[in-house]
Amino acid sequence: MTHSSDIKPESWLVSAGRGSQPGDPLNVPLVPASNFLIGSGREYSRDDGTPTWEALEALVGGLEGGKALAFASGMAAIAAVFDQLAVGALVVLPDDCYQGVAGLAIAGAERGRWTLQRIGVDDTAAWVAACATADLIWLESPSNPLLTVADLAVICAAPRKASAIVAVDNTFATPLNQQPLKFGATVALQSATKFIGGHSDLLAGVATTNDLGFWHAIKKSRELTGATPGTLEAYLAVRGARTLAVRLQRAQQSAMLLAERLEAHPHVMRVRYPGLASHPTHATAQRVLKGFGTIISFDLVGGAEVADAVCQHVQLIQHATSLGAVESTMERRAAIPGQEHLPPSLLRLSVGIEDGEDLWTDLAAAIEVATSKI
């Protein structure tokens, strides 16, 4: 089959992972097998994988520009990266990142597994300095949920310890908007639960690297911890990924429309979206991202009570967690345990593929109702 570097990503998404021989099924089949007849090199799925997992790995690996491994969830892939650290390692984490990663890092530090340092996502000089001593540089860009964009081109290229790992959670950007391995990262991670699957119907994660030794190391972690993807989940992730390019294009267009209108709304204090000129890291986003994504965070006048009321009154937008799916979802992040430090009225909106004008009508009406008594 044509290599990913020979065709555009939009074509790779549709073609990757399929069979190429006469009589092969056109679509990736479900292979619900734990073990295989001995003699081909594939004996037990936990160790050797399945054709369904491999199709997902080929698809995402080609997009990211490396060799991929599929996991049971995004957190399982993340844990496999942390599993490579020796006791006493120095982990450098952004001040704004996914609470699951922060929870894992803090728990390990509390047990004496490693030392933890936090740095502002946009403090590029501090990240470059940290690369000289850190064992794990953990980056997330755009960040969750404040949507700060890190200067990956500079940070990933900075001199670092020979054994240091530079890991980038690339879930928000997707491999269509950003390829961290090309900047020099060791590994790029996707929560395939989000944009890759795109339909809120699976849990899966993918880690991609162009360091073969590191690939074998995280594969061994997957084997020993049993953090393998389900066959149905891998199948659904491949099927969902086929439409990633058109989903992302549609949702990004609507996200820009909503961000601009929210910024002009009298009951909105602040809008965080990398595509807006007012965004603190907009210039960086223009340099390192091919698109600004589909996630918007905004703070409402009136505090937590008003923000909760907006979530209760939207009808087309779903009041639910997670992101990156065909349906738009929204939630007040400070209401989530571990996220209490966030602005109390901050709403994180994941824009789906609905009509942008319909989304605005729904959101504006909910804000009007929620703020009518202020």
| Closest by CA position to 137, among listed 110, 155, 113, 150 | 155
46 catalytic? Reply is yes
Catalytic residue among 122, 135, 151, 169: 169
Catalytic residue among 67, 122, 151, 194: 194
Task: List where CATH 3.40.640.10 sits in the chain.
Answer: 4-241
Catalytic residue among 67, 96, 98, 250: 98
**Which pLDDT belongs to residue 1?**
61
42 catalytic? Reply is no
Residue type at position 21: Q
Task: List where CATH 3.90.1150.10 sits in the chain.
Answer: 245-370
Catalytic residue among 18, 42, 46, 220: 46
CATH class label, 4-241: alpha beta
Q: What is the pTM of this model?
A: 0.96
98 catalytic? Reply is yes
332 catalytic? Reply is no
Q: Tell me yes or no: is domain 245-370 CATH 3.40.920.10.
A: no
Over its length of 374 residues, how does the chain's per-residue pLDDT go in tens digits?
677 888 999 999 999 999 889 999 999 999 999 999 999 999 999 999 999 999 999 999 999 999 999 999 999 999 999 999 999 999 999 999 999 999 999 999 999 999 999 999 999 999 999 999 999 999 999 999 999 999 999 999 999 999 999 999 999 999 999 999 999 999 999 999 999 999 999 999 999 999 999 999 999 999 999 999 999 999 999 999 999 999 999 999 999 999 999 999 999 999 999 999 999 999 999 999 999 999 999 999 999 999 999 999 999 999 999 999 999 999 999 999 889 999 999 999 999 999 999 999 999 999 999 999 77
